[in-house]
Amino acid sequence: MIKDDFISFNTNGLYCKYGDFYLDPLLPVKTAVISHAHADHAISGNNDVYATEATLNFMRLRYNKNAAKIYNTVPYNLPFNIGNIKITLIPAGHMLGSAQVLMEYEGVKYLYTGDYKLQPDATCEPIEWVKADVLITESTFADPAVVHPDPVEEIKKLNDIKINILLGAYGLGKSQRLINLINKHAPQKKILVHHRIMPINAIYERMGFTPGKCQIYSRKLMKTQEEFVYIVPPFTFDSYIRATGVKRLFASGWKNLQVNRQDSLFISDHVDWNDILRAVEQTQPTQIWTLHGNGAHLKKHFGNDIFVKILN
């Protein structure tokens, strides 16, 4: 029997009282299961942390000794227990090391997706599917009007831009995906990266997911027009708002982050509407619980066929 209160929000974040642990907590807690290493899911200061090897490596890089007190490295598809809850981490396809969290309790399977994507990405493990009674899905883009374009076709747009490009992107996950895509589909471009991205790339290399050819930024290089693409994190991108001699682009699935009318680069690491519907087909839940967005469209779409609960 599905327990309506299996997970719920409190001041510390998303809590499973039946196992006494948190999923991607908002504040430091005693026991945390971390789906992936982006800062809005993986904070510092937790005591006992369960996550994949890549996620823990990224957390150590960002937070040093404050990443956690106890590190529990969990391989994909190898069950473990926290209290009476059997937990298995399943590849989520969002970024390197990202995981869905399958939780089994009293014969019921609850699948927390974290952030996930279905689009192919050579810089991370592809998503895997498991059946679940309850699908706890992010709903960042859960709107029938949102359909993500083909990332390869988006990257090919860069071939038509002959001047240097200042490309804003999140340093962890998105930047490595962009490096890989540009090398494959705009190979004449010369990729420069911000110094804060290089240590992240090094972890990718060690984990066997080489982003591709790039070099650290040099101001001298960017003074020449040789089709350089300089990838920078958001804070640096915003500080270069008056940069001259470059085309400014920001790689994101959010329309409000596109920075000029002439050119856009819609590349998202989240599921769109059709992807969420496919996730429902693959997992075959009897209930859907939504997080991180608006679940109203899913509630309307499924009507009486599948019970939809909006958690946030």
pLDDT of res. 241 = 81
Integer Cα distance of 144 and 243 in angstroms: 37
pLDDT in tens, 116-170: 999 999 999 999 999 999 999 999 999 999 999 999 999 999 999 999 999 999 9
Domains in the chain (CATH in brackets) are 8-144+270-310 (3.60.15.10), 151-257 (3.40.50.10710)
Encoded tokens for 300: 């309307």
Longest dimension (CA), the chain: 65
Task: Please calculate the CA angle 163-199-189 and round it to the nearest 5 degrees.
Answer: 20
Helices marked H in the chain: 53-63, 151-156, 174-185, 198-206, 219-222, 234-239, 273-283, 296-302
Q: What is the pLDDT of residue 233?
A: 95
Q: Sheet containing 190-193: which strands, arranged edge to edge? A: 215-216, 190-193, 228-232, 164-168, 246-250
In whole angstroms, give the CA distance from residue 39 to residue 30: 18
Rounded CA-CA distance 44/56 in Å is: 11
**HEC profile of 110-170:** EEECCCCCCCCCCCCCCCCCCCCCEEEEECCCCCCCCCCCCHHHHHHHHHHCCCEEEEECC
Residue for token pair 């540009």 = 182
Q: What is the pLDDT along the chain (312 residues), one digit of tens a residue?
A: 999 999 999 999 999 999 999 999 999 999 999 999 999 999 999 999 999 999 999 999 999 999 999 999 999 999 999 999 999 999 999 999 999 999 999 999 999 999 999 999 999 999 999 999 999 999 999 999 999 999 999 999 999 999 999 999 999 999 999 999 999 999 999 999 999 999 999 999 999 999 999 999 988 888 899 999 999 999 989 888 877 889 999 999 998 888 877 788 999 999 999 999 999 999 999 999 999 888 999 999 999 899 999 997
The contacts of residue 283 (CB under 8 Å, 6+ apart) are 111, 129, 130, 131, 132, 135
- What the block records as the tokens of 77 is 């598809």
Compute how many other C-beta atoms are within 10 angstroms of the C-beta atom of residue 272: 23
